[in-house]
Amino acid sequence: MRVLAFDIGGTAVKIGIINEKGEILESGEMPTFSNEGGEALMQRILKTIGEYKNIDRVGISSAGQVDSEEGKIIFASENLPGWTGMEIKKRIEEAYSIPAVVENDVNAAAIGEAYYGAAADEKSFLCLAYGTGIGGAIIEQGKIYRGAFGSAGEFGHIITHVGGKDCSCGGKGCYETYAATSALIRNVKEELGIEEVDGREIFKLLEEGNEKVEKILQTWIFEIMMGLVNFVHIFNPSLIVLGGGIMVQPYIINHIRENLPRYLMPNYKDVKIVRAKLGNNAGILGAAHMVMEA
């Protein structure tokens, strides 16, 4: 079986051909051009599918809230304007008469990690992705826990600071406004008075012995941990997988592993904290696995 998988984000769309063994036979990437709107993006996806031969199924991992049964987008932020309501599954199946599955990007990444990555030996775990916001997925016995209305796992929007900073969701004090990578970058810019900085540059400053950056980082990691404390006590997972580009830094994972247990009740302290293993391939591998299982 050959699956064509897409991982759709606000900046880029990752593409892969994946076989039934979970091997990536081909891979590539194209710009999302999100400013052109959702219909233009859908047309590019349909055109791309038509450029591949001998494809048995199509798996889609997409940012936004997804109705996986209908294969459409329930809600997408302005990072993907015009994407809300897009009937992706229907459009693909009508155009090419091949089965398609559509899934939220963090859910797809979690399934990828469950079967091919950091959680290959753990079928019940939590997965969080730290970036512009914080996405989450709950995996129970190898399956996504979706909740009553299909949108469980919005970890980024638990309230960690009542009446706190404004969040893009319209609320105040959400976890992601304090613990997302974007929050770290914002804090460094404000405290150091610099206009542009990214994660790599922040850790370069840390290596150079910048004490202000070290203090900002430790405060930010504390915010991450306070969210994790809540999730551990609610779900009692044996494993939590932390993803997002910033998590490649060993400093973060090591700090969490060392300090998280002091905030947990005794019978919760054995939870393992690991870094996501599949990187940018998690979404396409998860989407491919799901459409093969469908």
pLDDT at 132: 85
Q: What percent of the chain has pLDDT over 90?
A: 88
The 10s digit of each residue's pLDDT in 36-90 is 999 999 999 999 999 999 999 999 999 988 999 999 999 998 889 999 999 999 9
The 10s digit of each residue's pLDDT in 92-140 is 999 999 999 999 999 999 999 999 999 998 889 999 999 888 999 999 9
Would you say residue 149 has pLDDT above 90?
no
Closest C-alpha to 151, from 66, 61, 231: 66
Structural domains of the chain in order of their starting residue, each with its CATH number: 2-104+280-293 (3.30.420.40), 118-277 (3.30.420.40)
Strand partners of residue 16? 5, 27
Would you say residue 222 has pLDDT above 90?
yes
Cβ atoms < 10 Å from Cβ of 188: 23
Closest C-alpha to 140, from 117, 119, 118: 119
Give ∠ CA 53-97-29 in degrees, rounded to 5: 45
Residue 121 Cα to chain centre, angstroms: 20
